[in-house]
Structure 1
Amino acid sequence: MEGGDVLEYLFYNTIGSIIVSIIGSYRKIGGGKAFLISFILNSIIGFVIVILSKSLKDSEDEKQIQEESINLQREAIEEQRKMNQKTDASNMTEQLERLAKLKKEGILNEEEFQKAKKKLID
């Protein structure tokens, strides 16, 4: 290549890289990276890489979907926790009622009832 050919190549490559960087600034790759890639490799290759990168809107939508998914998971965990607490309280109430019934029927004396009740509560 002659000196004039090299300068012409650099000129057109720089112009192409600037155009690619403008397009890249609207994508996740960013304008600076797009410029460097297209200048070092070639404007056409840089353009292809930029087009294949995700757009900023797609990235934002993806992030929003992930946040919504996390929120739904947290809500489901909280709901399950509440249900478990209700079940535990219900089971304890039923067991205390059974102990009281056994005491009333004379199967358990006061000391046995208090020990069983303490064990259940703790």
Structure 2
Amino acid sequence: MEKALSEITQYISIPKRHHVWPAALRLFVDEAHRICPLTPGTLWRELSAGDPGSTEPLLIDDLYTIHHNEEHFSESFVYRPERWLDEGETAETMTARKKLREGFSPFGLGSRSYAGKAVAYVKPVLL
């Protein structure tokens, strides 16, 4: 844990209280999952009649493409764990946080999501 503490504090300032570390490690894990999603990443969505593009029955989104969309993630090809930090409760930061969460789904969605999601988040804390 001390090695992780020293490496993490090189990048961002985090209080050295023990209960903060699982959340701090989550910043790094989320950013790693954003850069390189764990699932193949095809999100199929059936379009309803009247939707734009409804001449095609399915819309396919790729997680890698979504996670590197500059609309959701500025400097999307840069590893920046601090982008996940809560930086106050202004309207601007709340909007930015909402965009991050809307564009983040490294484990897939719904019934086809990755079953090991909980393990992927707990394992770094236990190591």
Q: Structure 1 length normalisation: TM-score?
A: 0.20
Q: Structure 2 length normalisation: TM-score?
A: 0.19
Q: Considering Cα pairs closer than 8 Å and 6+ residues apart, tell me whether 1 or 2 has the greater RCO.
A: 2
User: Which structure has the larger Rg over C-alpha atoms?
Assistant: 1
> Which has more helix, going by share of residues?
1
